[in-house]
Structure 1
Amino acid sequence: MKALGFLCRNRPKWWSGCCSLMEKSHQYNFQSTLYSTEAVPELTTDLVNIMEKRLSAIEHRAACLQNFMNQPEASPAEYARANKELRKLTGSMDLINELRAKQKEIKGLNSLMDECSEDKDMRDMATEELSEATEEEKRLQKLLLESLLPKDEADERDCILEVRAGTGGEEASLFAMDVFKMYEKYSLKKGWKFEVVDVVESDLRGYKEASGAISGADVYGMLKFESGIHRVQRVPVTEKAGRVHTSAVSVAILPQADEVDVQLRNEDLRVDTYRSGGSGGQHANTTNSAVRIIHIPTGIMVSIQDERSQHMNKAKALKVICARLYEMERLRIHASRSKLRSEQIGSGDRSERIRTYNFPQGRVTDHRVGITHHSINDVMQGESLDVFINALLLQQEMEAIASFGAD
């Protein structure tokens, strides 16, 4: 207990709020996994001062943990807990040590310039080295700032993609198919695994609704701002007079849930099986392979008939239900705390129009960041989606930096 008291007494006051940040930053590769650190604006003096206080607190905490682990009276459980926390700080401490060494070098170069004020060659050499060292200091500071910024705990998760046709009839269904395939192509381009969960086709073989499971590194963090209304303006195949119609589809990106995140009780589920429909074939309508699951407390209903096996359809349906329940809980907690997203990026709600695809003019516009890309074919092939995704992620980071001092 004495050792435990030592650990608690040496925690900075804000440490409990920072622990979750450190837990994320120890896995951070410090090369900015999503976009270049050069896009981050110059650090202000106030921001550097705030960050320095936090870095000092991390250094102090790491020293306390190291000192504690060297004490013989620490119990195995306390030692293991301290060692685990210290490992989480390793990534940050490596960068902090680099920064401190660079700051020491800068201090030495400044002293050298004062001492050699009359030696022009020496002063010029020191000035050049000082310029390089100062740039390296800024780079390390930016990387450390990124590691300290709050991150969505779900960013590293896989996700469930849901696309539904909205206003526009058959044209909306056809565009829903285009959008679903756009994300499939983008996923393959990124090296992610894309699995079709379920598709409900329209009369013209468009998609009334479709869902897929996307797996890979930081999938949800990359795609989370794709949720919302995607509007299309084009001449439908059903239009004989050549007039441009406006239709819409809704996209939802849900983080996949682990079993520990969502506890599904059998008594809360109603499972129905029925014969799947479709285009026919020897396996169609011969067994009750299609599955419909209703989560009674929330009324969430998921129907899957994509697989020939009832067990596989049930597993897919449960995965989607878990993702929806997990997202509902995340939104509830998010709403009860504070508004962390900006009005520009928006909440990702499906009722919000986020992007317009104008085929006659060959352009795609994201209304949240005001970016227009003039090669709509590249976007639909999944080649240029990063133009919008990276802009939205950068906007999120800028907001986090702006609120850093208030954390």
Structure 2
Amino acid sequence: MNMMRVGARVLCRNQTFKVLEVLSANGNNHHHHLQSSLPKTHPFSLSSYSTVAEELQPQSSVELIKIMEHRLSAIEHRSAFLQGIINQPEASPTEYSRANKELQSLNAKMDLISKLRTIQKEIESLKSLVADSQEDKDMQAMAYEELQQALKEEQYVHNLLLKSLLPKDDADERDCILEVRAGTGGDEASLFAMDIFKMYERYSLKKGWKFEVVDVTDSNMKGYKEATAAISGADVYGKLKFESGVHRVQRVPITEKAGRVHTSAVSVAILPQADEVDVQLRNEHLRIDTYRSGGSGGQHANTTNSAVRITHIPSGLTVAIQDERSQHMNKAKALKVLCARLYEMERCRVHNSRSKLRSEQIGSGDRSERIRTYNFPQGRVTDHRVDFTHHSISDVMQGESLDYFIDALLLQQEMDAVAAFTAS
């Protein structure tokens, strides 16, 4: 087996422990809940990796550290080169500006590298002190204890540096557009679409995010055929991006008189919101139609052309909004959703190896394309991508326990990034 890949996996397991410890220290108690609720075969189970990690850690860490040191040395040389340009009086304003901007972007890494070099010097001194204190056992014991502490600090800084070197998604810090659609399952699917939509609303409020309903299309059973919301706050897209996909529900519908469990599906799409600089909308590329909105809204909504449908002619994308009484407000919401969809399409084109087009992302709504199953009779929710099950479905639907799934998926992403880092 390739030792570099082994090293990546072992480090990932160690990162799992550290992430859970940090979460627990922050008062989230994720460590306890994850450890108690995960099956023995789950990839994040703490006990399943301890023996293997102990056996492979010394050899694999050396390999990974070699890779990191190569990257860190390159950063140090680049930083010195840029500093040299800034210190040159003959440097042009353009050269100075570019060098200064790049140097600023390296500052955080250079601070960590500087801290690492200081610790490494301390480790070498302590190693020499341990070796030279053979006759003074008390001194040797004290030096050895300090050495162990310094080694732990070195590992901690190594982990921080590794994380800083992993590729980042620039969209993670953006706000997002949430789209929920009823899929297979008829009326029951529309009722669950409403439940899922409200689950994300509760979760957003719990996080202190702003949740703005953009548009809702009701079903005959007072559920949602489609629902769209704009969510804004700190790192919203980075938190919610893995919620995209098909969510399957297994429960007894309110219309089921025989008490049989039905299976339905709902499609969820999370799109990063776009800025004006990201998407240039030309008037000649837009066809804007107005019409009378249907459904609730009173006499005003049914007698005025307040609903807006915008078609982006080059891509064929269409967005229709009728949620607000004001045509102007509906147009503004439609443009926001359209920009998000176009921005995601462009991101997918540029990063095709990592992403999929929005239509592929949310799938057809068929039950077989599920990412998560909500089983009400058994009171459990299972995410099939990380094989993680939480046994309090009511907490999940209230937005209280969704972090367990999100944290596990974010951790999986980090593990995959480490594996890619060592393979490159």
Q: TM-score category by the smaller chain?
A: 0.7 to 0.9
Matched-pair contact (CA < 8 Å) for 2:380–2:390 = yes
1:155 Cα shift? 1.4
- Out of 401, 409, 418, which is 1:392 matched to? 409
- Contact 1:226-1:348 within 8 A present in 2 as well: no
Q: CA deviation at 1:221?
A: 1.2
1:251 aligns with 2:268: yes
> Residue 124 of structure 1 corresponds to which residue in structure 2?
141
Correspondence for 1:160 among 174, 177, 202: 177
- Report the Cα distance in structure 2 between the residues aligned to 1:256 and 1:187, rounded to whole angstroms: 16
Q: Does the CA contact (< 8 Å) of 1:225 and 1:348 recur in 2?
A: no
Distance (whole Å) between structure 2 residues aligned to residue 215 and residue 339 of structure 1:
24
Structure 1 residues 339 and 163: alpha-carbon distance in aligned structure 2, compared to 1, 3 A threshold: closer
1:131 counterpart SS class: helix
Residues 152-210 of structure 1: per-residue CA shift (max 9 Å, x gap): 22111111100000111111000000000101111111111111110001122100000
Residues 6-405 of structure 1: pairs in structure 2 closer than 5 A:
44-335=61-352, 338=353, 348-351=361-364, 352-405=369-422
TM-score, normalised via structure 1 length: 0.86
* Deviation for aligned residue 1:329: 1.7
2: CA distance between counterparts of 1:140 and 1:171?
51
Report if aligned partners of 1:182, 1:381 keep a CA contact under 8 Å in 2. yes
Q: Structure 1's 193 and 381: CA in aligned 2 closer, same or farther, altered over 3 A?
A: same
Residue of structure 2 equivalent to 1:344? none
User: What displacement does 1:340 show?
Assistant: 7.9
Change (3 A) 1:333 1:218: same
CA drift of 1:333 comes to 2.2
The one-letter code of the counterpart of 2:259 is G
More helix by share: 2
Using the alignment, how far apart are the partners of 1:283 and 1:125 within structure 2?
A: 81
Distance 1:280 1:123 in 2: 80
What is the rounded CA distance, in whole Å, between the counterparts of 1:79 and 1:357 in structure 2?
Answer: 56
Separation in structure 2 between the aligned mates of residue 263 and residue 206 of structure 1, nearest angstrom: 35
Provide runs of 4+ in structure 1 moved above 6 Å: 37-43
Q: Deviations over 1:354-383 (max 9, x none)?
A: 000000000001111101110000000111
- How much has 1:348 moved relative to structure 2? 4.4
**Separation in 2, partners of 1:353, 1:101:** 50
3-state SS of 2:303 partner: coil
Report the alpha carbon displacement of residue 284 of structure 1 after superposing the two structures with TM.
Answer: 2.5
Q: Are the counterparts in 2 of residues 176 and 208 from structure 1 also a CA contact under 8 Å? A: yes
- Cα distance per residue 1:274-319 (max 9 Å; x no partner): 1222334353223211101111122211111111211111111011
Distance 1:117 1:308 in 2: 84
Q: Distance in 2 between matches of 1:91 and 1:36?
A: 23
Preserved contact between residue 171 and residue 237 of structure 2 (Cα < 8 Å)? yes
The answer (yes or no) to whether the contact 1:363–1:373 under 8 Å persists in 2 is: yes
Give the residue type in structure 1 aligned to 2:199.
M
Q: Any conservation in 2 of the 1:251–1:350 contact (CA below 8 Å)? A: no
Change (3 A) 1:144 1:36: farther
Alpha-carbon distance in 1 for matches of 2:271, 2:341 = 7
Distance (Å, rounded) in 1 between the aligned partners of 2:217 and 2:171:
28
- Whole-angstrom distance in 1 between the partners of 2:361 and 2:157: 33
Separation in 2 of the partners of 1:129 and 1:403?
34
Letter in 2 for 1:206: G
Deviations 1:223-267 (A, max 9, x none): 111111100000111111111110100000111111111111111
Say if 1:227 and 1:350, in contact at 8 Å, map to a contact too: no
Equivalent residue of 2:173, what SS? coil
Letter in structure 1 aligned against 2:399: G
Does the C-alpha gap of structure 1 residues 164 and 170 become closer, same or farther in structure 2, counting only changes over 3 Å?
Answer: same
**What do you get for the CA RMSD once the two structures are aligned?**
2.1
Give the TM-score normalised by structure 2. Answer: 0.83
2:300–2:325 Cα contact (<8 Å) kept: yes
Structure 2 gap ranges (5+): 1-17, 25-30, 32-43, 47-52
CA 71–140 in structure 1, closer or farther in 2 if over 3 Å, else same: same
Displacement of 1:58: 0.8
Q: Percent identity, please.
A: 74
Label 1:137 to 1:56 Cα distance change in 2 as closer, same or farther (>3 A): same
Q: Distance in 1 between matches of 2:109 and 2:361?
A: 32
What letter corresponds to residue 403 of structure 2 in structure 1?
Answer: D
* Counterpart-to-counterpart distance in 1, 2:326 and 2:62: 62
Whole-Å Cα distance in 2 between the matches of residues 298 and 132 of structure 1?
58
Unaligned runs of 5+ in 1: 1-30, 342-346
Query: Aligned residues, how many?
Result: 368
